Amino acid sequence: MLRDDSFRTGTSDTPVCTCGLERETAAHFLLYCNRFQEARNLLQDTVTEISELSGLKKRLRLSEALLLAPVSDDVTSKKDKFIKDALFGFIAETESSSSSQLFHCLIFHASSMFLL
C-alpha cells in the first residue's frame, strides 16, 4: 500500500515516501520518485515504442491517467493492454513491499479518477 493511503487509514506514521521528497501518492510512485527512475525509464521507453509502432502523430506522454485510466482516442484497448503490461513490469521491477497490494491500490486510484 502507498504510504499516503496507509497514513490516511492509520496504518502508517507518515505519508512521506522513503525517498523523503514528498507524499507517496500514486502519481509520486509512478512518475516522480527518484528511487525508481531506472524502472520508469524502461516504462517510458515502452510507451514511446507503442506510440511509434502505432504511427501516432504525437507521442504518448507518461502520466498517471495514461497508466491507470487512459481516456484518449489514441489509446485503443490493444495499446492499453501493452501499457498495462509495461506498468505491471514497472511495479514488479520496483520490488514494492507487496506488488499485489500496490496493484490494488493503483486500481482504486484509477477508479476514483473516473468519479472526478
The predicted-structure confidence for 37-67, as pLDDT tens digits, reads as follows 999 999 999 999 988 888 877 788 899 889 8
pTM (2 d.p.): 0.78
- Which of 72-76, 82-86, 96-100 has the weakest average pLDDT? 96-100
Name the β-bridge partners of 23.
16
Residue-level pLDDT at 53: 86
Read off the pLDDT band of 112 (50, 70, 90): low
